[in-house]
Amino acid sequence: MRLPSLSWTLAVAALLSTALACASDDPPRGGTGSPDDRAQLTAFELDDQHGAPGRVDAGTRVLLATRDMDGGRALRDALEALGADDAWLAARGAVVVADIHRMPGFAAEWFALPALRKRPYRMLIDRAGEATAALPGREGMAALVFLDRLSIERVAYAGTPDEVRALLDTLEAGSAPGTR
* Calculated CA dihedral for residues 119, 180, 133, 103, nearest 10 degrees: -30
pTM of the model: 0.74
Q: pLDDT digits over 61-117, tens only?
A: 999 999 999 999 999 999 999 999 999 999 999 999 999 878 667 765 777 777 788
The single-letter DSSP state of residue 48 is B
Q: Which of 26-35, 50-59, 144-153 has the lowest mean pLDDT?
A: 26-35
**Averaged pLDDT, 153-180:** 80
Q: CA separation (Å) from 67 to 33, 71, 139, 174?
A: 17, 7, 7, 27
Instruction: Output the pLDDT for position 111.
Output: 73
Q: Which of 5-14, 44-53, 80-89, 101-110 has the lowest mean pLDDT?
A: 5-14
Q: In the structure, what pLDDT confidence band is assigned to residue 43 with cuts at 50, 70 and 90?
A: very high
Instruction: Output the pLDDT for position 175.
Output: 54
Output 116 or 18, whichever has higher pLDDT.
116
- 8 Å CB contact between 41 and 60: no
Residue 65, exposed/middle/buried by CB under 10 A (0-12, 13-18, 19+)?
buried
* Domain range list for the chain: 38-168
Instruction: Output the pLDDT for position 112.
Output: 72
Q: Which of 94, 134, 106 is nearest to 10 (CA)?
A: 106
Superfamily the domain 38-168 falls into: Glutaredoxin (3.40.30.10)
